[in-house]
């Protein structure tokens, strides 16, 4: 008699040792089951390979049930080694899956395999009343067994319970509407399923193919899985373990396995809770910087969904929002816990500020994407707490949070001010920042192009509005009052000022909506403002190349803010009377410079035309 030895010393007879000793009884599947089998034959699942996952899940259920019964009924440990054994045979085109689990009686064969969605797992979970055995049951797929008929011409099931006087049974079917049951001798306790594969499914008799499928779907099943005598599932599912029992080396090994990575996890979030929902999550934040592929919004999630240790979805995009696609790990859960990740990162930012700063430097783009794309306002608020920007009141390189900023608000201040520029030097030397110095308020400095879009989308933080200093300049009521004020001895006289403003308006007709005085400007001759500067810049990046000048200025409606104390503006008033052509060129160049400084000209080379003409006039002695 040919034998397969278990590690415990107990041997399970091979198929050739089993004898049919009773008269086979023919049965018809229930009508619903016959319908299901027809659906399965036409591929109920998107990938036929999942039939192996389903059978391993059922085998694991059977082992857990037997383990539970052994402990509760006899008060001891199971006598049989709890294992799943799989064998392939290319020559005969068969695949065999065998377990030493609870097995089935004749009545259970009829009930479980002859009736749709009666695998018994759900009833067992209810009976176990939430104990350890229930938590380890994988099943509840309901129709999993029938998936074998996607790949098999016929299926034979040998089974026997562990009761001393239990009979062995043989169940066979081609999946075409009927099945047969007969008594069998020399059947080992547990269940063995032998599948004779269809010619088009012969690859499932290849041990390499089956090994890859086991690793893909069932690598973390609680019982050992052997394929042709070699154990396949050797990696422990860390997410089900006590977090305190897991070392850094274990996390690194597991992270590299699940993430197909070579670095180490920067942060590790291991979260377990039973109330109000049963959730087990193990998430890793990569140490390496994201590459261009990682930044792509088309990239799938790197988080896998497992139910009872069996892979349900390897790249579960619905588990986390798209902007958290850089997180790698395993989840065993009932709901998505994005807020848990956000709280975790917020804690890191306060408890380990330098480590968080390093993380933020590499991965802030994803957080900002979260603000822009999230439809959940509470989620936006939580992500906003993680944002960091340089501040006009802090040294270069030091960043602050929005909460930090709010803690230093001036009395009566209701706005959080920010300024977009490519560098700190350009920000602090811009006319827009200069216009804020009189208010003595803190300004957040945004160096990335998308930063102002992020803050514009956020709109508020707590009870405070997020306002661009450029927008604040345009809405400055003091500037409106300054149109009729005496600006002092260094300024143009009111009647001369009115004339030069009218001349500038005429020169820039069709390009500026209006011209006005701004007494906050100190060292700059002028500045341009539009209603929503951030939105305008974003709009131009998206559509500017398809617009002519007339259309662009019609959309922007820019206003030119002038400093009547600046030497250029004072000289311009006289030049308009003496050399109007030169005055027009100077005006156009000042406007172009202001548009460049505002980021409203896509190609700086366009400014060269008026500049060259101005130089020609200067050299000609005008």
Share of the chain above pLDDT 90, in %: 36
How do residues 267-302 score in pLDDT, each as one tens digit? 988 888 776 667 778 888 888 888 766 666 566 666
* Structure tokens, 322: 């798209």
pLDDT band at 12 (very low <50, low <70, confident <90, very high): very low
How do residues 523-568 score in pLDDT, each as one tens digit? 999 999 998 888 888 888 888 777 787 888 888 899 999 999 999 9
Q: What is the pLDDT of residue 277?
A: 63
Torsion region of 216: left, alpha or beta (phi above 0 gives left; psi -120 to 50 gives alpha): alpha
293 known member of a binding site: no
Q: What is the pLDDT of residue 237?
A: 80
Q: What is the pLDDT of residue 301?
A: 61
- pLDDT at residue 10 is higher than 50: no
Q: In what order do the strands lie in the sheet with 389-391?
A: 399-400, 389-391, 443-446, 415-420, 464-468, 460-461
How do residues 123-180 score in pLDDT, each as one tens digit? 444 444 444 444 443 334 345 788 888 899 999 999 999 988 899 999 999 888 889 9
523 known member of a binding site: no
539 known member of a binding site: no
How do residues 335-371 score in pLDDT, each as one tens digit? 456 888 899 999 999 999 999 999 999 999 989 998 9
How do residues 27-45 score in pLDDT, each as one tens digit? 887 766 666 666 666 655 5
267 known member of a binding site: no
Beta bridge partners of 307: 310
Q: Residue 84 in contact with residue 60, Cβ under 8 Å?
A: yes
547 known member of a binding site: no
- The distance of Cα 285 from the centroid of its chain, to the nearest Å, equals 12
* Structure tokens, 525: 């001759």
- pLDDT at residue 316 is higher than 70: no
108 known member of a binding site: no
- pLDDT at residue 79 is higher than 80: no
104 known member of a binding site: yes
Q: Residue 346 in contact with residue 385, Cβ under 8 Å?
A: yes
Q: pLDDT higher for 344 or 617?
A: 344
- pLDDT at residue 87 is higher than 70: yes
Closest among 74, 79, 147 to 116, alpha carbons compared: 147
- Contacts for 565 with CB less than 8 Å, ≥ 6 apart: 487, 488, 490, 491
Domains, in order of start, for the chain: 19-231 (3.30.565.10), 238-382 (3.30.230.80), 387-475 (3.40.50.11260), 483-621 (1.20.120.790)
- The distance of Cα 77 from the centroid of its chain, to the nearest Å, equals 43
Closest among 348, 343, 346, 318 to 333, alpha carbons compared: 318
Tell me the mean pLDDT in the region 589-610.
82
Q: What is the pLDDT of residue 288?
A: 86
Q: pLDDT higher for 481 or 102?
A: 102
453 known member of a binding site: no
54 known member of a binding site: yes
CA atoms within 13 A on the CB side of 411: 0
Tell me the mean pLDDT in the region 398-422.
92
Q: What is the pLDDT of residue 601?
A: 80
pLDDT band at 122 (very low <50, low <70, confident <90, very high): very low
119 known member of a binding site: yes
- pLDDT at residue 446 is higher than 80: yes
99 known member of a binding site: yes
Q: pLDDT higher for 2 or 217?
A: 217
Task: Work out the mean pLDDT of the chain and round it to a whole number.
Answer: 81
Strands (E), 394-531: 399-400, 415-420, 443-446, 460-461, 464-468, 514-517, 526-529
Closest among 478, 557, 565, 575 to 525, alpha carbons compared: 565
144 known member of a binding site: yes
- Contacts for 239 with CB less than 8 Å, ≥ 6 apart: 270, 272, 280, 281, 282, 306, 329, 330, 331, 332
Tell me the mean pLDDT in the region 514-525.
90
Q: Residue 329 in contact with residue 284, Cβ under 8 Å?
A: yes
Share of the chain above pLDDT 70, in %: 78
Strand pairing class (190-197; 265-273) = unpaired
141 known member of a binding site: yes
Q: What is the pLDDT of residue 33?
A: 67
Burial of 277 from C-beta contacts in 10 A (0-12 / 13-18 / 19+) = exposed
Q: pLDDT higher for 97 or 613?
A: 97
User: Would you call the peptide bond into 447 cis, given omega within 30 degrees of 0 as the criterion?
Assistant: no
Beta bridge partners of 152: 197
Reduce the DSSP state of residue 265 to 3 states and report it.
Answer: strand
Beta bridge partners of 467: 417
Q: What is the pLDDT of residue 6?
A: 28
- From CA 237, how far away is CA 304, in angstroms rounded? 12
- From CA 95, how far away is CA 72, in angstroms rounded? 34
Q: Is the pTM of this model over 0.75?
A: no
* Total residues belonging to the chain: 622
Strands (E), 16-143: 19-20, 25-28, 84-89, 94-99
């Amino acid at each position: 008699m040919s034998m397969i030895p278990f590690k415990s010393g107990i041997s399970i007879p091979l198929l050739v040792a089993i004898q049919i000793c009773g008269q086979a009884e023919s049965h018809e599947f229930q009508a619903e089951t016959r319908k299901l089998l027809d659906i399965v034959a036409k591929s109920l699942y998107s990938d036929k390979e999942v039939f192996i996952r389903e059978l391993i899940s059922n085998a694991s259920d059977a082992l857990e049930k037997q383990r539970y019964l052994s402990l509760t009924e006899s008060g001891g440990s199971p006598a049989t080694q709890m294992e799943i054994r799989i064998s392939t045979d290319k020559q005969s085109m068969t695949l065999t899956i065998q377990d030493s689990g609870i097995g089935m009686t004749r009545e259970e064969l009829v009930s479980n395999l002859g009736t749709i969605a009666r695998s018994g797992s759900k009833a067992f979970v209810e009976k176990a009343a939430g104990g350890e055995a229930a938590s380890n049951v994988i099943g509840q797929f309901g129709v999993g067994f029938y998936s074998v008929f996607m790949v098999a011409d016929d299926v034979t099931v040998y089974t026997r319970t562990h009761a001393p006087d239990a009979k062995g049974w043989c169940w066979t079917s081609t999946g075409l509407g009927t099945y047969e049951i007969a008594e069998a001798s020399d059947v080992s306790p547990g269940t063995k399923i032998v599948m004779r594969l269809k010619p088009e499914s012969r690859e499932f008799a290849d041990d390499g193919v089956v090994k890859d499928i086991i690793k893909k779907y069932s690598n973390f099943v609680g019982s050992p899985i052997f394929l042709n005598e070699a154990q396949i599932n050797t990696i422990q599912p860390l997410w089900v373990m006590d977090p305190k029992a897991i070392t850094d080396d274990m996390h690194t090994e597991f992270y590299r396995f699940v993430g197909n990575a070579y670095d180490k996890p920067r942060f590790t979030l291991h979260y377990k809770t039973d109330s109000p929902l049963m959730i087990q999550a193990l998430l890793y934040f990569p140490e390496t910087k994201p590459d261009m592929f990682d930044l792509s919004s088309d990239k799938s999630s790197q988080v896998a969904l497992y139910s009872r240790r069996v892979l349900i979805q390897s790249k579960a995009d619905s588990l986390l929002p798209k902007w958290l696609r850089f997180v790698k790990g395993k989840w065993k859960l009932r709901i998505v816990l994005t807020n848990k990740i956000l709280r975790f990162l917020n804690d890191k930012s306060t408890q380990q500020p330098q480590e968080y700063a390093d993380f933020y430097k590499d991965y802030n783009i994803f957080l900002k994407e979260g603000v822009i794309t999230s439809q959940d306002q509470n989620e936006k608020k939580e992500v906003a707490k993680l944002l960091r920007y340089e501040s006009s009141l802090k040294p270069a390189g030091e960043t602050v949070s929005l909460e930090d900023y709010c803690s230093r608000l001036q009395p009566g201040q209701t706005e959080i001010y920010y300024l977009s520029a490519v560098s700190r030097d350009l920000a602090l030397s811009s006319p827009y920042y200069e216009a804020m110095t009189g208010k003595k308020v803190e300004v957040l400095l945004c160096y990335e192009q998308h930063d102002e879009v992020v803050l514009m989308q956020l709109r508020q933080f707590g009870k405070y509005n997020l306002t661009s200093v450029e927008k604040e300049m345009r809405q400055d009521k003091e500037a409106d009052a300054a149109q009729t004020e005496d600006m002092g001895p260094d300024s143009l006289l009111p009647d001369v000022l009115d004339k030069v403003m009218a001349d500038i308006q005429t020169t820039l007709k069709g390009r500026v909506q209006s011209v006005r005085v701004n007494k906050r400007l100190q060292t700059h001759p002028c500045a341009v403002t539009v209603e929503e500067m951030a939105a305008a810049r974003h709009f131009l990046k998206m559509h500017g190349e398809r617009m002519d000048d007339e259309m662009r200025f019609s959309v922007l409606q820019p206003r030119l803010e002038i400093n009547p104390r600046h030497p250029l503006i004072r000289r311009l008033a006289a030049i308009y009377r003496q050399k109007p052509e030169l005055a027009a060129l100077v005006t156009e160049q000042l406007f172009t410079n202001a548009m460049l400084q505002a980021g409203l000209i896509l190609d700086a080379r366009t400014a060269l035309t008026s500049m060259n003409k101005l130089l020609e006039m200067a050299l000609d002695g005008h």
